[in-house]
Each structure stands twice: as C-alpha cells, then as structure tokens.
Amino acid sequence: MRKFAALFLSLTLVCGLAACGGGGDNGESSDGGSAPEVQSDEADEADTADEGGSGEGVAINVIAAQYGQNTTKWWDDFVKDFTAEYPDIDLKVEVESWNDIYTVVNTRISNNDAPDILNIDVFANYQADDLLLPAEEFVSKETYDKMYPAFLEQSDVDGTIWAIPDLASARALYYNADILKAANVEVPTTWDELTEACKAIKAYDSKIYPWGVDMTTDEGQAAFAYYTWNNGGGFVDDDNNWALNSAENVEAIEYAISLVNDGYTNSDPANDTRYDLQDMFGAGQVAMMIGPNSIPTYIADGGYSINYEVAPIPTNGGNDSVSAGVMDRFMCFDNGYSDAEIEAIKTFFDFFYEDERYSEWVLMEGFLPATSTGGEILAEADESMASWVDIVGSCNFYPTAKTEWDDVKQGVINVEQQALLGGNVQELLDELQAEIAE
Amino acid sequence: MKNKFFRKIEPYIWILPSIILMAVFILIPIIFVFRMSLSDVSKAGIIKGFSGFANFTKVLNSSAFKLVLKNTIVWTVAVVCLSTILGFMLALILNNEFRGRKIARAIMVFPWATTLVIQASAWKFIIDTDYGTLNTLLLRLGIIEQSVNWTPTPEAYFTWEIACGIFVTIPFVTFCVLSGLQSIDSTYYEAATVDGANYWQKLFQITLPLVKSSLTVSTVLNIIYVFNSFPIIWTITKGDPANHTDTLVTYLYKLAFYNGKQGQAAAVSVIGFMILLVCSSVYMIYTLRKGDD
C-alpha cells in the first residue's frame, strides 16, 4: 500500500512539474518567470470578463526594459492608470532586466509567441525577419508628429520607420574642476590640449588617473564613437556604408591607445566599466571622463561630493565636437492584429506619450526626451536639462538600423582590446572591415 | 499471474519519473541544441532552415576559437588537478583526530555553500588595483609603498580566475575523499605498521587505492562542472580582453547574446558536449577497468 502511495505521489510530482514547464500559449513565457509582471486588479477582472465571453476586451502584451530601480513601479502605476481609463483593454507589462531581455524576447519569438509591443534598444534584427509593423501603422499621427525627426531617422530602413524612440541619453566630457585648477590646466577642447592636461595632472599627483577610458565588452563601442566621431571618422561613410578602417578611425584609436600606454588612464580599460569609472570619478581618482547625462544623479545617489563640471568632448583636426547619443525604442510585432487591436495599441502609445506622463517617464531614471514637446517641458522646468536637450537634438547615434550592427559593435570592441594588447590598429580594422563586408 | 507481471514492470515504474524528468529537462533541450547547431538561425532566433555543418565550419575557422579552446583546456586541467591534489591533502588532515575538527570541517563548507557569483565578486574586489582589499592590507602592513597592479596581463587575470576556481572546488573534493577515508578499516593501517610500512607507503599502498572510487567520482563530476563553469570568468573579466580569458561557455554566451549568432553558439555548445563526453568516458572506463583488474 505504501509503495502505491509513493508511486502515486511521484507521478503526481512529475505531472505537476511537466505542467509548470509546459505553458506558453497565453503569452507568459516560462523564461520570463522571474520577471516582474505588471497587471492591475482591474485588468484581472477584465480578463475574467473576457473569458466569460463578452468578446469586447482586447489584450496588449508589452515587454519593457528595466532602466533602473524605479522602472517597475512606474509601469505598475502606468498600467493602473491606463486600465482605469480604458477598462476594455487588458494591458500586461513584463519588465525585464537588460541582462535577460534579449534572451526572453528571442525565446518567445522562436516559440511563435512574440510580444505585441517591445521596448528595447535595437530593432534591425527583428525587422530583417519581417516581424515588425511600420511605425505609422501602430502610432497615431498626432503622437508620431511629436517625435524628433532626427530620432525617427535612426529607425529608418529603406524609407520606412520601424520603431519610435522612447528616450535618449547623450554623452559629454565631465571634469573635476578642483583637480584641473590644482594642476593649473584649462578644460581641454582638442586632443593636443587633452594630452597636455593629462601630463599636467599626472605631474601634479601621480595617483590620480587624468583620463577615464572604458573599452569593455559592455560599452567599448562608445569609446570607438567618442574618438572616431571627433576625428571626422565613424562607423559609416556619407553613403551609410561601413567605413571602419578609414584613416581617421585608425588615427583616433591609435590616439586613444597611446593615452593608455602613456599611463594617463585608468589601469585596466578592458575591464573597468563605465560604472567603475563613474565611481572613481566620484571619488576624485579620475580627473576627466566622457559620460552620460545621468552622471549627476549617479554621483548624488552615490553620496560623492566633488566639484565637477560638464564640457564638450575634445576633438582633433579642427572638427566640431560631436556628442554620442544613445536611443531606445518601442516597436510593434506583426501578430496579425484586428482593427480593434491596432486601435488599442495606438491608444497605448497616445496614453504613454501624453506630455506630462512622458516627462515623468523620462525624468524617472534621469534620461532625455525623444519628443519635441517633452523637451520643451523639461527645458522649461530645469535649466541644466535645457543644455542637454540641445545636445541630444544634435548628437550622432550608432547605426543600429543596419543588421550588421551587432557584429560591428563587438568587432570594434575586439579591435580596441587587441590594440591594448599591442595589436596593429590598421591591420585589425582592415580585418574587421573585410569580415563585415563578407 | 498479475502479481508476477507487476513484479516484472515494477522497477520500470519506479524509474519512470526520473526518465520523464531527464527527457523533459535534459534530453529535449540537447536535441534542440543539436538541431540549432545544424540550422541557419536568424539574429532574432528564428530557424530558417538546415545549413549542414556551416556553423561548425565558421566556428572552427575563427581565430578566437583556437584561443578559447586552449583557455578551456588550461582552465579545466588546472582547476581540476590542483583542487584534487589540495582537496585530497585537506581531507587527509581533516580525517585526523584533532581539537576543533568539527569547526574546521564546517569552515570548509563555506566556499562551497556560497554562490559562485558572490565568490567571484569577492575575488574581484580583493585583487582590484584601485580599491582592492589586498592592496589596502599590504599598504597598511607597510609591505608595499604603492598599489600593485595584480592583473597587468590577461594571463595574470586568468591565473587569478583559476585560483578562484580552485578555491571553490576544493571543498567538494575534500568531502568526497573524506567520505572514502572514513570507510577505510583501521586494521589495514595497523597491519601495515606491524609490517614496518612508513607513512608514504601507507598512503600510496592503502589510502590511495581505497579512496580511488571516491576520487574518480569527484574528478569526473569536477571535469564536467569546471568545464561548464560560467560565473567566475563572467563576473571577473567577461572573457576580456579580446577573448584572452574566455572559455567555451563564456564564448558561446557572447556569440549567442552579444553577437546574435545562435547557430554558431549552438555549434560551440555541441563541440563542448562532445569533448566532455569523450574525456569523461575515457577517464571513467580507464579508472574503473583498472580498478576491476
């Protein structure tokens, strides 16, 4: 009898486990099990009503990137407000960390369970597989017209815009004013001045790293952008073709590596992430670094108290200073929607981009707006924000609309790290260019 | 008749839950990975069709793969061998009667019981040039006058990662060997002492042969665990700079989730699986056959 009881329990356990792992039709991937999913009580009730056969409810499933500690709470409030105003729309928002979001999305796509709306940084790979809807099909004209045209162009493939920007950040030079003053140097505007400033700071205090460099797997592509864009080069040429091994790029990377080899930078650029640099900058151990507009928040939250200021990124060869912009997006997967579902998705975006709500979204984690109306509101509210809004409106962006971007991004990081180990920059960039052109 | 039939199938019923679990959570994913390695997979994760061995060819022809494979072999051999030797020595010490033995055994469990990511983060924090505790300690003690860069080269980083790997692997070996040591009858040693055997003769003629099965189990399991270990290297260096500290597991993770080359990542996974299968099988067959002889 005992044997039968144990056998029965074992089989029950196995069946139970199998049932747990077998979900998937309802859009709740088992991979996303650990992710916080935001759904209001009202939405639960609406769900029950749908199952009851009212037939009027429409469900929208969103996967959103987790920008920081406030993101999940913000979406939670958003869903509550949205559901209160549109009870017929069952909105579910799954917030995923940047470490997990690509895995979760790709797994869901390969299981034919793509989300309706995705908030992430890249879109070209999904577009290349014909998985997306053109932006103008899922966003109302009124909302679409709010976007900065320069931002929309970043999601242009063959004349069609496939994604809309949700927020942006821009980069600039941060410097410790006290250290520069003590070392008796001016804020550098050119590479020559930068080298001289590094020399002077090193002479003033050999324990301080004059210049912060991040060439890690996480953000080495940003270092490539800072130096090449400010030397007249970049990832692509004027015809938007890959131009990774241009003379300007070779000179730019060689200059960055020379700063490391001359001992003017942090000791381990291949492993010191931007956050390590920000901590060292906050602690007064790094005198100058290029970083995002969120650094003031980071320094304040970290309890650091240094006297720092912001300036344009130093350039070479008489080029204008170019700031690097980073932009994230919303895209809509083509899941064969009815007219009612498309209207619900448009309603979602109209609600999200309402000026006041959108300003809150942008300020939530210290980012910059991607809409002109949002920019105006923020510039009026905060003077320091006004200069950043100007910068972000004119900065360069990574060519993420090209499907080779993933390879280029990892490729330039590899080039930088090989160069740090003594590799020849020209040869490395030639190899990368040939590999990408294949 | 009924009873006889039930007796016949009873063992199969008992192992059925395990078989179902293994099929669902091990076999099916392995089949999926093999399928993916032979497929053309888009960057969005969609299988576009059969591509033969194209993914394997691309992987094997890349210069990074050779470096990564070499790293993986060095990593596995160094961690498994050194942790086995050190773990064996520690087990011998812990098998002796001494005051505080229970506490010593409990302390041994700590590295094993702590999450690998935490362990690796702690090691990273210790060896950091700028804010590391090792430099701080040595500066305070007056042993050094200024901070030392403990990781000036990729090889130095890799050595620290191996040291971390050994540190977290030793407890497992120690407890495996300890369980073997405790099952050895003390009369063997008494007889050997009467016959005039010294410490080393007892160690090599009695202890080692009798704990061989425990060592085999720990070594085979360690080969698999260490070969597939991800958190230590990922937390400390992410395989940087330029793949110089990558092993197959961190390399395939980058291929899949940073480069979007899931087909090639699956191919690396299959290559790793085959290497492990061959190594573990050869080692087990060799050791167990020798044991039978």
Assign a CATH topology to domain A31-168+326-397.
D-Maltodextrin-Binding Protein; domain 2 (3.40.190)
CATH code for the domain in which residue B217 is found? 1.10.3720.10
CA distance B241 to A92: 41
Range name among A158-172, A387-401, B54-68 with the lowest pLDDT average: A387-401
Residues of B with Cβ-Cβ distance to A421 under 8 angstroms:
154, 241-242, 244
pLDDT of residue A18: 36
What's the domain count of chain B? 1
Of A235 and B217, more confident: A235
| A21/B46 Cβ within 8 A | no
Question: What percent of chain B has a predicted confidence (pLDDT) above 70?
Answer: 98
pLDDT at A377 over 60: yes
Question: What percent of chain A has a predicted confidence (pLDDT) above 70?
Answer: 87
Name B193's Cβ contacts closer than 8 Å, sequence gap at least 6: B202
pLDDT of residue B291: 60
What is the dotted CATH code of the domain comprising A171-323+400-437? 3.40.190.10
pLDDT at B137 over 60: yes
| B258/A109 Cβ within 8 A | no
Residue B173 lies in a domain: yes
Instruction: Give per-residue burial for A391-428: e unless 16+ CB within 10 Å, then b.
Output: bbbebbbbbbbbbbbbbbbbbbbbbbbbbbeebebeeb
pLDDT of residue A148: 87
pLDDT of residue B101: 86
| B151/A125 Cβ within 8 A | no
Residues of A with Cβ-Cβ distance to B239 under 8 angstroms:
217
pLDDT at B100 over 90: no
pLDDT of residue B75: 97
Place of tokens 């989730």: B257
pLDDT of residue A218: 83
pLDDT of residue A365: 76
> pLDDT digits over A224-240, tens only?
999 999 999 999 999 99
Model confidence band, residue B290 (pLDDT cutoffs 50, 70, 90): low
Q: Which of B129, B258, B261, B262 to mutate to test the interface with A (most CBs of A within 10 A)?
A: B258
Amino acid identity for residue B245 in this structure: T
Mean pLDDT of A121-144: 94
Q: Which of A14, A129, A406 sits opposite B259 (nearest CB)?
A: A406
- Cα-Cα end-to-end distance for chain A: 69
**Which residue in B has a C-alpha nearest to residue A269's C-alpha?**
B241
pLDDT at B149 over 70: yes
Which residues of B have a CB under 8 Å from any CB of A?
13-14, 16-17, 20-21, 24-25, 42-47, 129-130, 146, 149, 151, 154, 157, 237-244, 254, 257-260, 262
Residues of B with Cβ-Cβ distance to A18 under 8 angstroms:
20, 24
Check if the beta carbon of residue A144 is closer than 8 Å to that of residue A135: yes
- Checking phi first, is residue B142 left (phi over 0); if not, alpha (psi -120 to 50) or beta? left
pLDDT of residue B1: 61
pLDDT of residue B45: 85
pLDDT at A157 over 90: yes
Residue B217: which domain range? 55-292
**Which residue in B has a C-alpha nearest to residue A102's C-alpha?**
B257
Model confidence band, residue A393 (pLDDT cutoffs 50, 70, 90): low
Mean pLDDT of A101-124: 91
Residue B223 lies in a domain: yes
**Contact residues, A window 193-232, toward B, CB-based 8 Å cutoff:** 207, 215-218
Residue B77 lies in a domain: yes
**Which residue in A has a C-alpha nearest to residue B154's C-alpha?**
A421
Mean pLDDT of A50-58: 51
**Which residue in A has a C-alpha nearest to residue B43's C-alpha?**
A125
Distance from CA of B165 to the nearest CA of A (A): 19
Residue B104 lies in a domain: yes
Rounded to 5 degrees, what angle do the CA atoms A239, A245, A251 make? 115
pLDDT of residue B153: 93
> pLDDT digits over A274-313, tens only?
889 999 999 999 999 999 988 888 888 888 889 999 999 9
Place of tokens 């069609």: A160
Name A221's Cβ contacts closer than 8 Å, sequence gap at least 6: A398, A408, A409, A412, A413
Check if the beta carbon of residue B6 is closer than 8 Å to that of residue A7: no
Neighbours of B202 (CB within 10 A): 15
Mean pLDDT of B6-24: 91
Check if the beta carbon of residue A413 is closer than 8 Å to that of residue A221: yes
> pLDDT digits over A27-43, tens only?
333 333 344 555 544 44
Distance from CA of A431 to the nearest CA of B (A): 12
| B47/A110 Cβ within 8 A | yes
pLDDT of residue A20: 37
pLDDT at A21 over 60: no
Residues of A with Cβ-Cβ distance to B129 under 8 angstroms:
267-268
Mean pLDDT in chain B?
91
| A417/B241 Cβ within 8 A | yes
| B241/A271 Cβ within 8 A | yes
Residue B18 lies in a domain: no
Domain ranges of chain A: 31-168+326-397, 171-323+400-437
Check if the beta carbon of residue A87 is closer than 8 Å to that of residue A42: yes
Residue B106 lies in a domain: yes
Decide if A31-168+326-397 and A171-323+400-437 have a common fold.
yes
Is residue A172 helix, strand or coil?
strand
| B262/A14 Cβ within 8 A | no
CA B52 to chain centre: 31
> pLDDT digits over B106-133, tens only?
888 888 888 999 999 999 999 998 888 9
Instruction: Provide the token pair at B111.
Output: 């590295």
> pLDDT digits over B233-282, tens only?
999 999 989 999 999 999 999 999 888 899 999 999 999 999 998 987 88
